[in-house]
Amino acid sequence: MKLELKHSLSVKLLRVVLLAALAVGVVLSCAQILFDASKAHHALNTDAQQILGMFRDPSTQAVYSLDKEMGMQVLEGLFQDQAVRQASIGVPGEPMLAEKSRPLASNSWRWLTDSILGREKTASIRLVGREPYNEYYGDLAITLDTANYGESFIASSVIIFVSGVLRALAMGLVLYLVYHYLLTKPLSRMLDSLTQINPDRPAQYQLPLLKGHERNELGLWINTANQLLASIERNTSLRHEAENSLLRMAQYDFLTGLPNRQQLQDQLDKILTDAGRRQRRVAVLCLGLDDFKGVNEQFSYQSGDQLLLALADRLRAHSGRLGALARLGGDQFALVQADIEQP
């Protein structure tokens, strides 16, 4: 019987392994993406604080001297960073010394990144004088557009997701190949070997040991199967011998080995049928020993059995000219003569 491909363990395993690997790859990739989203939030906050720290001193000098032109120069420097969307120098709630803004960057992924990182990030730092007075002059406030951060996040997320899925699928494929080489392929070879076994002589063909699997479960299975096949053949042989013995006991006399009454009846039926077809005569002669009971009583039953055996041998010597010869029981024998011309 040929194994259908769709029922093969290799195909089922490949399907299960690839689905499991795909699920694991997706889960791990999503976890990595969530971690990167947290890192992007942290990077956004860190960059905002670094920008404020870099421009704090010139902003403090500008607001201290109320130099609007200098303030605008500071803002121009801030806007060299593409992430800065809006910036201002001054006291909150009052007219700003300097402020500048530009529209949000256009990005096809903003609908997704804005939901993760937010549309924009606002941060500020207090502008104070030197120690020991620490006079407060105002705030430097900036607003960062998250589009650039979101674009980088999307690019890295796509790479992480695709590479994670491909890596998981590759690992699943490797596991499948290992399983196929170590188990499925040897099982197929074992199946091919099993098909060559003769059911009537199961021990005549031994399953060959697989190279490299002599000491593992497959090797033990093959050795056990070969022992089982040998045991089956021994038991079958013993059963056939017992059946033949029972058949012989049912058809032949146990002592002399001559056909018994039942076997004589079958032979006589065939002889009569053949004689009737050929228009020939058949004679049946019954032979017995005189005073056989006295022989047993005087010389023992063992001597009587020897006498019966001797008589059987003498009758068997003439069986070539007889149609049938049988022991009816006790000291009674029957001889069938076929193809006779006259009584």
Q: Using an 8 Å Cβ cutoff, are 342 and 285 in contact? A: no
Per-residue pLDDT, 238:
84
CA–CA dist 142, 124 (Å, integer): 6
Per-residue pLDDT, 6:
61
The pTM for the full model equals 0.54
CA quadruple 25, 26, 31, 36: dihedral positive or negative?
A: positive
Label residue 248 exposed, middle or buried (CB < 10 Å: 0-12, 13-18, 19+).
middle
* Closest C-alpha among 129, 125, 123, 128 to residue 143: 123
Q: How many angstroms separate the most distant Cα atoms in the chain? A: 162
Cα-based torsion angle of the residue sequence 178, 181, 187, 192 in order, rounded to the nearest 10 degrees: 160
CA–CA dist 62, 70 (Å, integer): 6
pLDDT-above-90 percentage for the chain: 20
* Closest C-alpha among 77, 74, 59 to residue 127: 59
H-run or E-run covering 302? helix 301-317
CA–CA dist 57, 79 (Å, integer): 17
Angle, helices 292-299/301-317, rounded to nearest 10 degrees: 130
Per-residue pLDDT, 301:
84
CA–CA dist 312, 319 (Å, integer): 10
Per-residue pLDDT, 216:
78
Per-residue pLDDT, 46:
93
Peptide bond into 58 cis (omega under 30): no
CA–CA dist 162, 168 (Å, integer): 10
Give the residue ranges of the chain where pLDDT is below 50. Answer: 1
The token pair that represents 153 in the structure block: 């996040």
Cβ neighbour number for residue 23 with a 10 Å cutoff: 12
Per-residue pLDDT, 7:
63
**Residue with token string 């939030």:** 41
Q: Using an 8 Å Cβ cutoff, are 68 and 90 in contact? A: no
The token pair that represents 244 in the structure block: 């033949």
What does DSSP say about strands 136-145 and 84-90: parallel, antiparallel, or unpaired? antiparallel
Task: List the beta strands (DSSP E) in the chain.
Answer: 84-90, 98-101, 120-128, 136-145, 281-287, 324-329, 332-340
3-class state of residue 159 by DSSP = helix
